[in-house]
A and B are shown apart, each in its own frame.
Chain A
């Protein structure tokens, strides 16, 4: 990549040597040729990892500009430099044609750059108004008035007196955007804003963004979802391995060329999730599982019914923070139920609610948690020691002593079998990239040959090819008779591999939906708590009991949670029935500082 090679104002010229010469984008606002923001040859590395290499980027005024790339391509690092959180090692940033030194987010804010992080930086225990007042100067009365006006103008209505802890994810995102808008930004950066939204809310967010653009605010929209980008954006810069692999106008570039710029080759064909054929015995059963969350801002689990059989993959969709981590901890045994409630969880016919994680593993349960560092693996320990963590039963110990050679062999097999890129089994887990460690943890748990496999976010942070490989392995295991429960935020992925789906919303589980007979829209309705009780119940004998009373009246009973409509003026908070959708404590001013490298 030759730095400084951009020539077109909004979309750079294709650089020599690229497989697919991207086309030059059209200018949304002709006659306005000083770019709002321009990056020339910007580089940044963290230790040995080069997160960005010679990145060029040009954002024009009044444009919605996509930054496209896989997890780990360097998108977040790039945005952190533009927002002044990180300083580039090399290269130059220009604002309105003049070079600037963005030394801090407040400096960026003064210039007119606002950012909405993927993990919101709001305090749960403060009201919307108080959260805004922390950042924006002005009297509470004036701020409240501005929140109301801006909300009306941009479709970002929120109740300023409400506590953030009681808001849905969609509403929290609106608060974040509002808070940025109140500082009159000229550039708004949104980091994967749709990742936390159910499909219906995405449309509404997009119309807000279009209004903003029409009023002269440029938007940097970070995503890896091609359809969204093609629908919304008028320019795109594609990143791969920290480098720019192309500039394009997504409106007239097809998905295939964008994909190729993003991952360097064509997308592997999706695997048809053919039904496993044989109907297995029930391996895991949850019956009226209730659990009261000690965290007041996280949801309780209520009346959860689930049947998981051998030879099937069941998915649990839903936005994280709706009880996913709590449910996983209860199934894995990291959280135990009191003995009197132990029957609510049955593993291979045995009541295990009060049993610890080790006992459940001995019964044939394996588990891939969402968080790899410190949960699925010990970062300070080597890979072979991490193999020892859960694979002791696979002959890695002898008479109470660690069989180092056997553990090394197990780790080596896992590294080879799952294409883990690492120096070897002696490497510390913490030195692996997120995607590679994910492959190692998934591989280790698969190598345990479990009868029940619980997987959270199976392909989180993994590149496309590896993700396809993990999905292939899961389907292979299902065909061999394993019962697999997948908990994921990625609807596409669930639709690709699952035989049946449930949706977890506010600690309640929807009835089972047969994947082949449902749609993302139907799942989306359950995700915002507007699911209908007449939704097709499961075929495959999986089903749940009859729909729970209370949670599932007819639509007529619950006018408030009627189908959300993005175009609606929406003063009535269509997704308000989602009181605590962020994870435990996740709302509390986290800076979203994941190193996506």
Chain B
């Protein structure tokens, strides 16, 4: 039996909705086989990953805590991805955003305003956007590939963070741990749900979702961005500037990642540490694609992805799963999603046996 892919007359909506579900099922199946091969009780591990995040109110509130940064970053990235500007370095922009935001409480430990966090958020966005702007500059000036530049800038950002935490910003009372001092109350985000760690950053994510929806689905600028992504020649023909699209995409996604970083240090952590991110910047790429690069889809996929984080943590404890297993599950998800997404625009035709 041979088969070929035949382009559909138009994108299939059913398939667009089914793709993430199929990806989840396939990733679950392969992970199950993988866990079983590793000698881990596979059924229990998968159950732990899939069910425990929703089993208690505390677990679910932790899911929401992780949803906030993923949602925020993924909404920003998706805008760029639809313009075919691939910012792979949201991780670095997040770190720089966190660093910039931390500058206020670290350098002004005695500042007492209860609204310090507002300035921190603003600074975080500026920092993230500025870090992404480096890639935009080289892309528009020298046509340097933004995938490589943003990715490598992430490594530099991580080194800057390490330098600050081991050197000038190290907490003098911190027993030599690589972290800053704890921030003063005014530098912390207000909580959202009493009794949990959920804070204002979840609202940032929701606001970003609404803004992204209006921007990408309704505004002329968003329309132009999508044109530069889908048909660059048509964009040039219509007089849409490709350079502007690159700048806009990178600045928006950089600012979103920077804000997420600022919200992490001012939120659940309350200080700048080396492990502020847990790979949110990279996981958000998967979130963006799993959500079909659509603002509403991303809202759902960010919940799913953070549940996998929490479930993976639980599985580590209860099912003896290694830490990297969660990364494997994430990778499988993206792979299967990309495969499934092919069928949004193509269908399989079986061409009998030998060709006549």
Interface residues of A (CB under 8 A from B): 46-48, 87-88, 101, 103, 332-334, 356-361, 367, 369, 371, 374-381, 385, 388-390, 392, 397, 400-402, 427-428, 430-431
Contact = CB atoms under 8 A, between A and B. Distances in A.
Interface string B3-15: 0001111110000
A359 B223 CA distance: 19
Nearest to A371: B233
Contact of B237 (A103, A369, A379): A369
Given A385-B223, A400-B221, A103 B7 contact: no
Interface stretch (B152-160, B194-202, B238-246, B264-272): B238-246
A143 to B, nearest CB: 32
Give the most central of A87, A369, A380: most B CB within 10 Å: A380
B193 interface: no
Give the most central of B221, B223, B226: most A CB within 10 Å: B223
Contact of B11 (A48, A360, A380, A392): A380
A75 B338 CA distance: 37
A401 B220 contact: yes
Contacts of A401: 218-220
25 contacts: A47-B9, A87-B355, A334-B236, A334-B237, A357-B238, A357-B239, A358-B238, A360-B239, A371-B233, A374-B231, A375-B233, A378-B231, A380-B11, A380-B231, A381-B230, A385-B223, A388-B223, A389-B227, A390-B237, A392-B220, A400-B219, A401-B220, A402-B219, A428-B10, A430-B10
B230 A378 contact: yes
B356 interface: yes
A47 B6 contact: yes
A441 to B, nearest CB: 10
A376 B233 CA distance: 8
Interface string B196-238: 0000000000000000000000111101001100110110111
Given A47-B9, A356-B241, A358-B240, A377 B234 contact: yes
Interface string B313-356: 00000000000000000000000000000000000000000111
Contacts of B8: 47
A360 B240 CA distance: 12
Contacts of B7: 47
Interface residues of B, number: 26
A413 B316 CA distance: 62
Nearest to A427: B10
B227 to A, nearest CB: 6
Given A334-B236, A374-B231, 20 more contacts: A47-B6, A47-B9, A332-B237, A333-B239, A356-B239, A357-B237, A357-B239, A374-B233, A375-B231, A378-B230, A378-B234, A380-B230, A388-B220, A390-B238, A397-B220, A400-B221, A402-B218, A402-B223, A428-B10, A431-B9
A357 B239 CA distance: 4
B162 to A, nearest CB: 43
B355 A357 contact: no
Nearest to A335: B236
B239 A367 contact: no
B9 A359 contact: no
Contact of A376 (B230, B234, B240, B241): B234
Contacts, number: 85
B241 to A, nearest CB: 7
Nearest to B214: A401
Nearest to B240: A358
Contact of A389 (B6, B10, B234, B241): B234
A103 B355 contact: yes
Contacts of B227: 378, 381, 389
B4 to A, nearest CB: 11
Contacts of B11: 380, 428
A101 B356 contact: yes
Contacts of B239: 333, 356-361
Contacts of B219: 400-402
A356 B9 CA distance: 34
Nearest to A355: B239
Contacts of B220: 388, 392, 397, 400-402
Given A87-B356, A361-B239, A402-B220, A375 B234 contact: yes
A356 B354 CA distance: 54
A397 to B, nearest CB: 5
A389 B6 CA distance: 28
B236 A357 contact: yes
A469 to B, nearest CB: 24
Contacts of A390: 237-238
A390 B240 CA distance: 10
A71 to B, nearest CB: 21
A356 B244 CA distance: 13
Give the most central of A101, A360, A402: most B CB within 10 Å: A402
Contacts of A46: 6
A468 B7 CA distance: 32
Contacts of A381: 226-227, 230
Give the most central of A377, A400, A427: most B CB within 10 Å: A400
A356 B243 CA distance: 12
Contacts of A378: 227, 230-231, 234
Contacts of A430: 10
B9 A428 contact: yes
A377 B7 CA distance: 18
A151 B121 CA distance: 77
A390 B223 CA distance: 12
Nearest to B10: A428
A284 B223 CA distance: 31
Nearest to B227: A378
A364 to B, nearest CB: 13
Nearest to B233: A375
A361 to B, nearest CB: 6
A42 to B, nearest CB: 10
B234 A374 contact: yes
A367 B221 CA distance: 22
Give the most central of A47, A389, A390: most B CB within 10 Å: A389
Contacts of B218: 401-402
A379 B9 CA distance: 10
Contacts of B231: 374-375, 378-380
A280 to B, nearest CB: 25
Nearest to B8: A47
A340 to B, nearest CB: 21
A388 B355 CA distance: 44
A545 B10 CA distance: 51
Interface string B98-135: 00000000000000000000000000000000000000
B237 A375 contact: yes
A375 B236 CA distance: 8
B9 A48 contact: yes
Contacts of A332: 237
B72 to A, nearest CB: 23
Nearest to B347: A47
B9 A376 contact: no
Nearest to B217: A402
